[in-house]
Amino acid sequence: MHNIVIALGGNALQEAGKPATAQAQLQVVEKTSEYIADIIEKGYTVTLAHGNGPQVGRIVLQNECASNITPAMPFDVCGAMSQGMIGYHMQQGLSKVLKARNIDKQVVTCVTQVVVDKDDPKFKNPSKPIGPFYTKDEAEKIAQEKGYTMKEDAGRGYRRVVASPLPVEIVELDAVKCLIKNGFIAITVGGGGIPVVKNADGSLTGVAAVIDKDLASEKLAEDTDADALVILTAVEQVYINFGKPEQKALETITVDEANEYIKQGHFAPGSMLPKIEAAVKFAQSKAGRKAIITSLDKAVEALEGKAGTTIIK
């Protein structure tokens, strides 16, 4: 097993309770980079994907707040901005760590578009909250003015929601493969990729949507023929009966077992469920492939089968 895709969660890019400054983000990324460098030192070929949840929300907020001074950019453009910003921080953080360890590798961000189906049923039922909270009155006004879909979010106020369509095709895939083949560490499908739809003439148009970053990472892992998909999150292992007295950590499970646990409703939608779904999709895509879900600090051990939750065919 040599070629791996690592999907980094939000906690690998930003620490809870810390200010959302560029400096704070860079410090977290440097810490994260130490763990990634450990994996690279073990001889793995690493390609990186990442979320952009809090970052793109703040970019949208900055755009909305300054809209009376300079026109606000549409959501797909904000997604591209977040890819550039996070990629830049990861290039800086990881390059610094690799240099300190005398590892001669260059880190490159590829601003990535991902094609979605314009008829994806998810467009009919937007569910992914983005940006700030509003009162009911503010939300109604925004919905009228801008045509946004606004929904109440867990008693905390109203937020804009966008669709979360499935990834169909990674537009810059050949460029990413070229980077991997030539020994670069590629950062790609950031935030799930910039969602675009294909027009009749083959051209692409950006749409307001959020592609699940775990599903986009899974697509990337399949399309680059990776041996393993490593989804890094806040917990070391996946649990069934989470938070209950009979809570149990999962070590190695099969695709069938994982599907059974999904059916039984063990995994929360919006947090662990998409990770399990992505892991299952990858593990069953080809013999010998495996998916690992674990925490950042246990990634090396998990690749050696000593930690985390591994899903196999």
Catalytic residue (choose from 52, 63, 87, 128): 128
Distance, in Å, from the CA atom of 230 to the CA atom of 213, rounded to the nearest integer, reads 12
Catalytic residue (choose from 3, 11, 31, 157): 11
Distance, in Å, from the CA atom of 138 to the CA atom of 121, rounded to the nearest integer, reads 28
CA angle 243, 249, 255 (to 5 degrees): 115
Q: Which DSSP category does 163 fall into?
A: B
Q: Which residue in this structure is represented by tokens 């200010």?
A: 19
Catalytic residue (choose from 122, 219, 275, 290): 275
End-to-end, the C-alpha distance of the chain in Å comes to 15
The separation between CA 249 and the C-alpha centre of its own chain, rounded to angstroms, equals 23
Helices 75-100 and 53-65: angle between axes, nearest 10 degrees: 130
Distance, in Å, from the CA atom of 63 to the CA atom of 69, rounded to the nearest integer, reads 10
Contact indicator for 170, 114 with CB cutoff of 8 Å: yes
Instruction: Examine the residue annotation and report whether 275 is marked as an active-site residue of this protein.
Output: yes
Distance, in Å, from the CA atom of 272 to the CA atom of 288, rounded to the nearest integer, reads 24
Instruction: Examine the residue annotation and report whether 213 is marked as an active-site residue of this protein.
Output: yes
Consecutive H or E run containing 231 = strand 228-233
Number of neighbours of residue 156 by Cβ within 10 angstroms: 9
Instruction: Examine the residue annotation and report whether 79 is marked as an active-site residue of this protein.
Output: no
Catalytic residue (choose from 51, 53, 190, 213): 213
3-state secondary structure of 131: strand
Active site amino acids: 10-11, 128, 213, 275
